[in-house]
Structure 1
């Protein structure tokens, strides 16, 4: 069968691989659609410290159950599913306190074990989530990025009337925008330096946008909030140098959600954190957010089609990677049609 495999940094191809076997407790998923994520690009670039090569990447995908391993109940061949990529041990401290997404022995599908850019993939049965009949497999392949948004917003603990500022209008910024709307946040500002991305944010319902190259974001926030500052700030730009600005424009008692894996140190002015009693929270992957997001998609409260800019066959995936490497401004979410 065919798969997109990364053998080493910048060394990738569509290749023939053996069909996996469903071990006890596992299922095989015949993949229909899979999305390319920024973290897939980090693996290709050699910037992911967790991956071991060769690796079939892809952690955003949906498909149909093709086989069921020994001891699996509650799911059957033919069921339509999407896949939570977080495989946790269930025993370490984070797992014991309900934070399996930071399990100390975690495996991520598409990083530590083979993922969805192949025709058939084996996964733990517990990670397969059955889909409502009217939810398309193309939309379901995008559940995972929306769970990233759901997780960071949950970590930030919004309250009624909170304003939200999102740094970055790439895919994650746009999913945070839509998820925040679905959760009832009404005043949402998005800032970026690319006008095309800001236009998409406005199309998807952002209250306003600021272009960081053309406007003074701090001054704009000062005017907008009459000096109070922003109670919620989500860092979907993932640029460490922006943290000092976030600290300055956060309101007293504000919450800042950080998503980036960039190892570059950030300047943190402790005075800003303490005098305002700010809360800085990291957010990694998702903590059991799949049912919530599936429900929001099924009820039409998330615009998945507004997120997709390209649909590409698996055979053409190397060309899509080249585009994302050299012309990323042309793309939002690139969806790979693998076929069920």
Structure 2
């Protein structure tokens, strides 16, 4: 089969080549891949930094494939063959305290497709059957875009405890995760403010704040009524700090990325006296995945698909990825 194989920590060492077909083990399925996303985590694997440093090379990249099940291993219902699915990339261990209470998103021993095991930038990929989710009403590209974007954001919004009527600030609202966060906040009847460095088209009734830098963002939010909840997907800690400062009494902040500038500085006295809370969300649970796919199929979450590249152009896709801001970058495998 054709697959994008990384042999060293340099983009020049990524090549689409012929590799052996995968075989399903017990409890696993083989998915014939149609699409897979381009993610910051892929770039971390290529560079050998952060969570990507744990990837043993050579490795087939691609964390969020979607396609059709074509084979199953021992213990998996053969009726699943032919089922269109999307793959949840974070695989919980199944035996820790978090997994025992159904909070697999917080499993400390979770592994990731395309990092700790071969991924979906290939014609076929083998994954646990429990990680392959039915995607009724969604084509493969839409399901790939939702899987590692909307599901994580859904977890983040849930973590903030946002309630109808709450004032919710989304920072990084122009990106894939940000658009999903705005849509989910509106769906939960929050009063949403969407902050972005570039002009945006409204999804619904959200207020849009355009600010090219943190100074402009501070000025734009200076006279706002304090926010109840903040979802930050910028990956930029100084921007997260600006958002935390806008929270009111008992305000809850969640960030879903920390890939750009990790140096977070906050007013500790204000944080303490106003009883603020801050959480990091880096993955999604099974329930978040199911709900995100359902919300996308029902039209609550807008189309998140951006630029698309064929598998043979995957190096060009990774090269261009940092500049792509118009949706999820998709690799068309089939």
Q: TM-score, length-normalised on structure 1?
A: 0.89
* Contact 1:60 1:143 (C-alpha < 8 Å) held by counterparts: no
The reply to whether residue 56 of structure 1 matches residue 78 of structure 2 is no
Equivalent of residue 279 in structure 2, options 262, 281, 303: 281
Equivalent of residue 148 in structure 1, options 148, 152, 160: 152
Gaps of 5+ in 1: none
The reply to whether residue 292 of structure 1 matches residue 291 of structure 2 is yes
After TM superposition, give the deviation of residue 329 of structure 1 in Å. 4.4
* Contact 1:324 1:331 (C-alpha < 8 Å) held by counterparts: no
Cα distance in 2 for partners of 1:81, 1:99 equals: 22
Cα distance in 2 for partners of 1:35, 1:61 equals: 7
- Equivalences for residues 38-53 of structure 1 within 5 A: 38-47=40-49, 48-53=52-57
The reply to whether residue 25 of structure 1 matches residue 27 of structure 2 is yes
Q: Which region of structure 1 is more displaced relative to structure 2, 80-89 or 257-266? A: 257-266
Equivalent of residue 119 in structure 2, options 115, 120, 127: 115
With over 3 angstroms needed to count, the CA separation of the structure-2 counterparts of 1:77 and 1:292, relative to structure 1, is same
The reply to whether residue 312 of structure 1 matches residue 299 of structure 2 is no
The answer for the alignment partner of 2:138 in structure 1 is: 135
After TM superposition, give the deviation of residue 54 of structure 1 in Å. 1.7
* Contact 2:214 2:242 (C-alpha < 8 Å) held by counterparts: no
- Secondary structure of the residue that 1:151 maps to in structure 2? helix
Cα distance in 2 for partners of 1:112, 1:46 equals: 13
With over 3 angstroms needed to count, the CA separation of the structure-2 counterparts of 1:257 and 1:71, relative to structure 1, is same
After TM superposition, give the deviation of residue 203 of structure 1 in Å. 4.1
The reply to whether residue 176 of structure 1 matches residue 176 of structure 2 is no
The answer for the alignment partner of 1:323 in structure 2 is: 320
The reply to whether residue 230 of structure 1 matches residue 227 of structure 2 is yes
Q: 1:83-117: per-residue Cα shift (whole Å, max 9, x none)?
A: 11121122112222332122122111111111111
Cα distance in 2 for partners of 1:54, 1:74 equals: 31
Cα distance in 2 for partners of 1:338, 1:68 equals: 21
* Contact 1:61 1:142 (C-alpha < 8 Å) held by counterparts: no
After TM superposition, give the deviation of residue 224 of structure 1 in Å. 3.0
Cα distance in 2 for partners of 1:330, 1:280 equals: 26
After TM superposition, give the deviation of residue 255 of structure 1 in Å. 0.5
With over 3 angstroms needed to count, the CA separation of the structure-2 counterparts of 1:44 and 1:213, relative to structure 1, is same
- Secondary structure of the residue that 1:49 maps to in structure 2? helix
Q: 1:168-224: per-residue Cα shift (whole Å, max 9, x none)?
A: 132222221222223332x3222233x2xx32xx24344212214396323332323
With over 3 angstroms needed to count, the CA separation of the structure-2 counterparts of 1:329 and 1:140, relative to structure 1, is closer
With over 3 angstroms needed to count, the CA separation of the structure-2 counterparts of 1:175 and 1:330, relative to structure 1, is closer
Q: Which region of structure 1 is more displaced relative to structure 2, 101-110 or 241-250? A: 241-250
With over 3 angstroms needed to count, the CA separation of the structure-2 counterparts of 1:331 and 1:161, relative to structure 1, is closer
- Secondary structure of the residue that 1:15 maps to in structure 2? strand
The answer for the alignment partner of 2:333 in structure 1 is: 338
Q: Which region of structure 1 is more displaced relative to structure 2, 62-71 or 204-213? A: 204-213
Q: TM-score, length-normalised on structure 2?
A: 0.90
- Equivalences for residues 205-284 of structure 1 within 5 A: 205=204, 206-213=206-213, 216-225=216-225, 229-262=226-259, 264-284=262-282
